[in-house]
Structure 1
Amino acid sequence: MTMTTHQPTGPASAAPEPPVRPGEGRTLRPIPAEAHAAFQRVGRACPVSFLQTPAWARVKQGWRAEHLGWFDGRQCLVGTALVLYRQLPGVRRSFAYLPEGPCVDWADPRLDGWLEPLLGHLRGTGAFAVRMGPPLAYRRWTAATLKGAAGPGRRIGDVLPDLVEPLGAAVADRLRDAGWHRCGEDGQGGDAQPRLVFEVPLAGRSRDDLWTGLNQEWRRNVKKAARAGVRTGTEGPEALPAFHALLRVTELRDGFDLGRGLDYYRRQYAALNAERPGAVRLYTARHEGELLAAHTLVTAPDGQRVWYLTGASADHRREVRPSNALQWRMLCDAQASGAAVYDMRGVPDDLDPASRAYGLLRWKLGTGGEAVETVGEWELPLQGAVNKALHRGMHAYLTRR
C-alpha cells in the first residue's frame, strides 16, 4: 500500500472549506504541507520532532498522511499536526497516529480547546481510535544519579528522579482526567516511540565543557581513536549501502532486528533533505580507509534539537574506538550549530550491571547527559464499543507486524 499525502490547494490563510470545530476561539482545518513546514521552521514554545515534519509522511509507507492546522480568531496559524492513518485490513476504518505530536501550546490550562477540535475532525474521517505522543519531558535522572544507583535487579523507575517536570506531570494528569489511557498501562501495546531517552544538554556550553562532561573512559577512547588515525566526517547517499550493511552486522551482534531495508534509509535521507537540506546527515568513521562506524543525525526544523537516530559499527578493529570518535564529532558539530539538546534517543531502563542491556545505557551515561522519561504515548477510542473492538484488533495487527 502506497501512502498518499493530503495537500489542499491554496494558501494556509485561505478558508475554502468551513472550519471543523471551534475551540476557545481556535479553528482546525487541513493545511498544505508547505504551510506546515514553514510554521515549523520558526522557533515555537512547543518543540517540534522530526516525526511531525511533512517530510516524515513521505518516509512512512503504508500510512495515509494529513496535515492539520489550528488557527486563532485572526486566522493566524498557531499549531500543527501530522496525522498518520493506518487502515485495518478488511474494514474501512482507520487508526490515527500523531508521533511525538501535535505541536500545540501544551501549557494552555484549557487544553481541551486544542484537543476537542482534533478529536471532532478525526471522528469525521472515520478513525476508530487515536494515539498521540506529547513532546514533553516528565522525569529526569542525571548520569551521576544512575551510576550510583546501579545494582542487581535495579531499574531506572526504581530511582528517585532528580527532577519532575511540572508541565509534563500536569499534561499527563489532564489527559488521564479526559479519558485518555497511557500506552502500556492497560495491558495493551506499549509506546511505538521510546519513552525513555538520553539527552546531552548543549545550551550555554562550550566544547571544553562538553569534553570535561565526558567520563574518563570516554575521553581516553576519543584520544585513542585520534592516535590510531580514525577519520570522521560526513558522506553522501552513495555511502548508504555500506551503512546498511554495517547495520546488519550490528543487529546480528546485538540481537535485534529493525526490519528496515536499504530502500527505507534511502527514502528517509532523500525525503528529509528535500524538505530541508542538511536535515539528515550520514556520519562515518574510517580507519585506513575502511568504514568501521556510521551514524545518522537528524536536525529539528528550528535547529534547537538534534537526534542521533541510527548507529552501526563493525565487529572488528573495535580497539581503535571508532564509535566514540564518531559520537564526539557529532556532539561537537551539534554544539557548533547552536543546538540546545543532543538527543541520543532510546535507552533501556535496566540498571543491573550483569545485564547486556545495561551496556548500552552505560555507554551513553559516559557522555555526562541525563536519562529523560517523556510523557509517553496516549490513546483514546473515539466512539462506541465497536470502535473499542477495532482498537484491540489494531493492537494485535501492529504487534504481529
Structure 2
Amino acid sequence: MEIREVEAGTWMAFLEGHPEAHVLQTAPWGDLKTGFGWRVRRLLLVEHGEPRAGLQVLIRPLPLRFFSILYVPKGPVGEWQHPEIFRSLIAALDRLAQETGAIWLRIEPDAVDGELQLDLKAFGFRPASPIQPRRTILIPLQDEEGAILQAMHPKTRYNIRLAERKGVQVREARREDLPLFYRLLQQTAARDRFAIHTFDYYRAAYERFVPHMARLWLAFYEEEPVAALMAFAWGERAWYFYGASGDLHREKMPTYALQWTAIRWAKARGCRWYDLWGIPDEDPEVLEAQFTSRRDGLWGVYRFKRGFGGRVVRWAGAFDRVYIPWLYRLIQRLGLL
C-alpha cells in the first residue's frame, strides 16, 4: 500500500467512484476553506495501482507560532475501516502533524452512531466535541413526489400549498442576488441570535459550488425578497446548509416553499437522501416531548424541520488524536476546544 498526496482533480476523480461521500470531503469544499484561514491536503491510499481510500484534511494554523490543528470533516472516504488501511492513513496524518506542528488531529467520520466497524480508541483516539451537528433528519427521496409530500406532517403540506396560494414565487438566484441573500441572512441572525459568516464566505461558496453542486433560491412576495435557501449535493445526498428569512410576510410561509423546491431539486438530480442538517442532540422521545416549549439552540429550527418527515439520525461524533498533550489540556482548560 502506498499513500500519495494528490491534487484536486485526482481527488475528485476518486470521489466519482464514491457517491456515498460527504460534500465536506469534496475538493470545492477544501478550496473554499483555503480562502478563510485553512490549508488543505488530500491523501490517497493506493494498492496495486487502485485507490482504496483517502481523505481531505484541513490544516488550521494557530496564533501560537509553529502550531496548528488538523481536521478531517466527514471522512475518510472509501475502504478506510479496514484496519490496515486506517493504520496507513493515520501514519500519513502523523507525518503531516509533525510537519505542521499539529497539537491534535480531529476526525468526524461520516458514519451513523453505533455503526463504526473500528474501535478508534484502539488507534489512539479519544471522543471529542463534534464540529458538525451530531444529529439530523434524513428525508428519503426514492419515492415519487406525491409520496414524499404524503410522508410530511399535514401542517407542513398545508404550508407548502399556502405559500403557493398566497403568491410566493421561488426563483433561482444569480450571482448579483447574493447581497439580497446576505441581507436576509443578517436579519435572520439578528432575530434568532446566531452567528453567520462574512459576505465574502457565502460569495465564495456560491462561486465554487453553483451550479454543479449547489443551488441558491430566493422567495419573493410581490417582488420583495422574503426568504432564501442554499442547498448542496454530491452523489446520493443533498444538504440544507443555509437558510434565511426576512421579518416581513413570514405568515406567507416562504420557507416552506423554498424547502420543497430544494427537495424536488435534490430528487431530480438523483439524490437518495435530503439532509436537513442539524437538530438538537436528543433522543426522539425527548425531541417530541419538548419541541413545543424549547426555543434555545437548535430547538428553534427543529419544529420546522420535523414537519418534513424523514428519520432522525445520530452520527458517530468526533474523535481526537493528541500529539502535544500539555498544550491540548491547556487549550481545553481555556475553553477553546
Deviations 1:104-136 (A, max 9, x none): 324435564444433443344243321111111
Taking the aligned partners of 2:330 and 2:78, their CA distance within structure 1 comes to 30
Partner residue, 1:264: 201
Counterpart pick for 1:64 among 36, 39, 43: 39
Taking the aligned partners of 1:249 and 1:202, their CA distance within structure 2 comes to 31
Alignment root-mean-square deviation, CA:
2.1
Deviations 1:321-379 (A, max 9, x none): 00011111111121122101101111123632311143421211111112211011110
Taking the aligned partners of 1:290 and 1:322, their CA distance within structure 2 comes to 12
Q: How does 1:281-300 map to 2 (within 5 A)?
A: 281-300=215-234
Taking the aligned partners of 1:58 and 1:317, their CA distance within structure 2 comes to 37
Query: For the Cα contact (< 8 Å) 1:285–1:322, is it kept in 2?
Result: yes
Q: CA deviation at 1:397?
A: 7.8
Query: For the Cα contact (< 8 Å) 2:236–2:271, is it kept in 1?
Result: yes
Partner residue, 2:249: 317
TM-score by length of 1: 0.76
Partner residue, 2:103: 128
Partner residue, 1:23: none
Deviations 1:136-174 (A, max 9, x none): 112xxxxxxxxxxxxxxxxxxxxxxxxxx5x33x33xx1
Q: 1:359 to 1:87 in 2, by over 3 A?
A: closer
Partner residue, 1:390: 327
In structure 2, runs of 5+ residues without a counterpart are: none
Taking the aligned partners of 1:395 and 1:80, their CA distance within structure 2 comes to 29
Query: For the Cα contact (< 8 Å) 1:64–1:85, is it kept in 2?
Result: yes
Counterpart pick for 2:136 among 197, 210, 222: 197
1:349 aligned onto 2:246: no
Partner residue, 1:141: none
1:233 aligned onto 2:171: yes
TM-score by length of 2: 0.90
Query: For the Cα contact (< 8 Å) 1:88–1:394, is it kept in 2?
Result: no
Q: 1:327 to 1:122 in 2, by over 3 A?
A: same
Partner residue, 1:210: 148
Query: For the Cα contact (< 8 Å) 1:129–1:379, is it kept in 2?
Result: yes
Query: For the Cα contact (< 8 Å) 2:18–2:78, is it kept in 1?
Result: no
Q: Which one has a bigger Cα radius of gyration?
A: 1
Query: For the Cα contact (< 8 Å) 1:27–1:117, is it kept in 2?
Result: no
Counterpart pick for 1:381 among 310, 322, 334: 322
Q: CA deviation at 1:278?
A: 2.2
Q: 1:269 to 1:250 in 2, by over 3 A?
A: same
Taking the aligned partners of 2:331 and 2:30, their CA distance within structure 1 comes to 20
In structure 1, runs of 5+ residues without a counterpart are: 1-25, 139-164, 184-189
Query: For the Cα contact (< 8 Å) 1:49–1:100, is it kept in 2?
Result: yes
- For 1:62, what is the secondary structure of its paired residue? coil
Q: How does 1:2-401 map to 2 (within 5 A)?
A: 26-43=1-18, 47-60=20-33, 61-72=36-47, 74-108=48-82, 110=84, 112-125=86-99, 126-138=101-113, 167-168=115-116, 170-171=117-118, 174-183=119-128, 190-203=129-142, 205-258=143-196, 260-273=197-210, 277-300=211-234, 303-349=235-281, 351=287, 352=290, 353-357=292-296, 358-382=299-323, 387-393=324-330, 399=336
Taking only the aligned residue pairs, the percentage that are identical comes to: 32
Q: 1:339 to 1:354 in 2, by over 3 A?
A: same
Taking the aligned partners of 1:340 and 1:389, their CA distance within structure 2 comes to 45
Amino acid at match of 1:100: K
Q: How many residues align?
A: 325
- For 1:269, what is the secondary structure of its paired residue? helix
Q: 1:359 to 1:56 in 2, by over 3 A?
A: closer
Amino acid at match of 1:91: R
Q: 1:395 to 1:83 in 2, by over 3 A?
A: farther
Amino acid at match of 2:225: L
